[in-house]
Chain A
Amino acid sequence: MNTESREAATSSGDRIFKGVSYFFAISVMCLMGLVVLVLFKESLPSIQKFGLGFITSTSWDPVALEFGALPAIYGTVVTSIIAIVIALPISIGIAIFLTEMAPTSLKGPIGVAIELLASIPSIIYGMWGLFILSPLLGDYVEPFIIDHFGFIPLFDGAPLGIGMLPAGFILAIMIIPFISSVSRDVFLMVPSILKESGYGVGATKWEVIRRVVLPFARSGIVGAVILGLGRALGETMAVTFMIGNSPDISLSLLDPATSISATLANEFTEADHPLYLSSIVELGLMLFIITFVVLAIAKLMTRRYEKR
């Protein structure tokens, strides 16, 4: 082969390879755009029929073909907030334990154990929650809450073991690995010279953590929490099992409710009318846009802690 044709072969090979890999890289963006486009097109009938009222209406009535998303949005938001409130302190505790406290021999195994929590599929959490956790909550925990805190409207209700609080609790266990692993990475970025100067002036370990590590890591932790929020908002199977699936808005966290994802999972294949289906797809579109925005914010906030 002479030099010229060999060079030509080389450069065309390069061009093809680069072109193909570019195509697949671009395909992610196209896919993303296509998802939004397709969902929007499918939800057009519902958007045209209900307009903005879809978001504010509380009626979800497949028989009368009246659909409002407020109960589902309410359930999604409330369960996610419960999940964050429970998961945040525990995740920070785990991150502190793994970075500042645990002896080296324990760091690995405990870190792996927490990460394994993330690898258990959502459906297993849901099933375990329904059959094991929910009876326990209904028999022991919720009666206790009702007896002692029942005067607060949030905890006034019947001890069913399913509802927004149980769903939020399962969600909390599911997002702990994500929040704690991001927080741990952020804590590891704190320069040791800062911590050492803390110890140098006689601070205790907790004082160093509170006055040096946490302030340094603040925006990273906020990012981690928002990431956890994004996960919790879109989590489907576990919530479907635990939330009770009733399209009502109730102040009590012990009452059954529904969420966007649970409505999708339960009713999508039952939708027997184009408008019904279209309304469900519109719920899906809303969920996608909300989680996208939340996750994008989380990504931007944790970006500066990434290892270079």
Chain B
Amino acid sequence: MNLHYLRRKLVNYVALGISLLSAVFGIVFLCWILKDVLVLGLPALNTSFFTELPAPPGMEGGGVANAIVGTIMITVIATVVGVPAGILAGTYLSEFGRKSRVASAVRFLSDILVSAPSIVVGIFVYALLVGPMGGFSLLAGSLALAIIMLPVVIRTSEEMLKLVPDSTREAALALGAPQWRVTVQVVYRGALRGMVTGVMLAVARVSGETAPLLFTSFNNTFWNFSLTEPTASLTVTIFNYAMAPYEEWHSIAWGAALLITAMLLVVTLLARFFARGRSTG
């Protein structure tokens, strides 16, 4: 009897210990990766990293200024295209469609597209835009990211809009406001905080994408501000530099990795903080 009890207790502690170790495993890898990115990336972040164009292999110095600007441009254009489209689609799901068949089909597809391989979107945009336009372009890269962003924005904005209580909508409707004004002036305002959070997360997520940019915006060793020319981006630069056999390039790749990772972590943590502020009022 006593032995049986001991055995059960032992099994209990072993099992719980394993579950504790699993959590430790995850955290160890997070800290390990962040530590290496920080330690190896920090030395690369000097003035020339932020201000100069890439140097040819073997040359001292050189930076990724064009890639930083490129990533910002691609992300901004993608946001301008993807976010309004996503919010409007989310509005349909939350305000008009609700339980309609169209709405549930859109929900289902969006949920799947959120996890779909982003490289396929790159191929799609290549076939649609890069081939016919005769070359890689800033526009194609932005479009690819906008497509990847769309389902994320749709789902988060729908969730956030749904949090606005129906009684608020009814109160505004009872005052005689048309539904579109109720949506724009009452519902959007109530859901603003959550939607901003969702958009921030979506933007952060796509700015770390590499695969869809490989065959859309491609790469460029010079400045580019034209919509129809290839454009450098931080992530593609990391890919090319890390795969190349030059030490200096590896160091710059780590620097770019640190920049992207730090930006993503800050945005993710900010968004969490922001979202928590909402629930406590």
Contact = CB atoms under 8 A, between A and B. Distances in A.
B26 interface: yes
A18 B211 CA distance: 35
B231 interface: no
Interface residues of B, number: 89
B264 A42 contact: no
Q: Is the interface of A mostly helix, strand, loop or mixed?
A: helix
- Residue among B12, B22, B113, B209 with the highest chain A CB neighbour number at 10 A: B22
A291 B119 CA distance: 12
A206 B15 contact: yes
Contacts of B88: 20-21, 23-25
A25 B123 contact: no
A237 interface: yes
Contacts of B111: 295, 299
A114 interface: yes
Interface in B151-188: 151, 154, 178-181, 183-184
B244 interface: no
Given A124-B261, A265-B214, A38 B128 contact: yes
B268 interface: yes
Interface string A187-230: 00000000000000000111101100000000000000001001
Given A119-B268, A121-B261, A284 B115 contact: no
A35 B127 CA distance: 10
B151 A113 contact: no
A46 to B, nearest CB: 13
B158 to A, nearest CB: 10
A21 B91 contact: yes
B2 to A, nearest CB: 15
A10 interface: yes
Contacts of B268: 115-116, 119
Contact of A90 (B26, B85, B180, B184): B26
A291 B22 contact: no
Contacts of A25: 88-89, 92-93, 97, 102-103, 106, 154
A287 interface: yes
A123 B71 CA distance: 15
A101 B19 contact: yes
Contacts of A291: 115-117
Query: What's the interface size class on A, roughly?
Result: 35 or more
Contact of A35 (B20, B115, B120, B250): B120
A173 interface: yes
Contacts of A288: 116-117, 120
Contact of B178 (A10, A20, A29): A10
B9 interface: yes
B243 to A, nearest CB: 8
Interface in A244-282: 261, 264-265, 268-269, 280-281
Contacts of A173: 29
B195 interface: no
A128 interface: yes
B239 A11 contact: no
Contact of B154 (A28, A93, A125, A299): A28
Contact of B23 (A21, A32, A110, A204): A110
14 contacts: A21-B88, A22-B96, A25-B89, A27-B85, A117-B26, A124-B37, A130-B242, A233-B117, A236-B118, A241-B243, A269-B218, A284-B120, A284-B123, A295-B115
